[in-house]
């Protein structure tokens, strides 16, 4: 299986869910979805992430807000994919591997 996105493994574990891709406009994340976004910040994303099963961002590092937030919530995270918001389709079933830093499409 080839990854659809690769980045930094920022919070360990694996999770599957439908991708909730947010580029410009914020919307609620439904329970069981994977939040895929450019970057998170403490103000805009505080309530959105609580239902996510995993987090994928285009930017960030091990000490960035999304990495710390994912570790606090105990959910897998891959940060610094550079292009996750453009290579992952909104609504696609994906698997996030927070141990390897890879995101896979699930058939």
- Residue numbers annotated as active site: 65
> With contact defined as beta carbons under 8 Å apart, do 52 and 61 qualify?
no
- Distance CA(72)–CA(91), nearest Å, equals 25
- Distance CA(46)–CA(87), nearest Å, equals 25
């Amino acid at each position: 299986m080839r990854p659809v996105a690769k980045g930094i493994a920022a919070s360990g574990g694996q999770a599957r869910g439908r991708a909730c891709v947010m580029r410009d406009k914020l919307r609620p994340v439904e329970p069981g979805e994977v939040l895929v976004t450019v970057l998170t910040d403490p103000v805009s994303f505080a309530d959105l992430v609580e239902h996510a099963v995993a987090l994928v961002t285009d930017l960030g590092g091990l000490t960035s807000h999304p990495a710390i937030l994912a570790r606090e919530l105990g959910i897998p995270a891959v940060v610094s994919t550079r292009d996750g918001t453009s290579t992952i389709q909104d609504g696609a079933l994906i698997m996030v591997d927070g141990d390897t830093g890879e995101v896979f499409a699930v058939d």
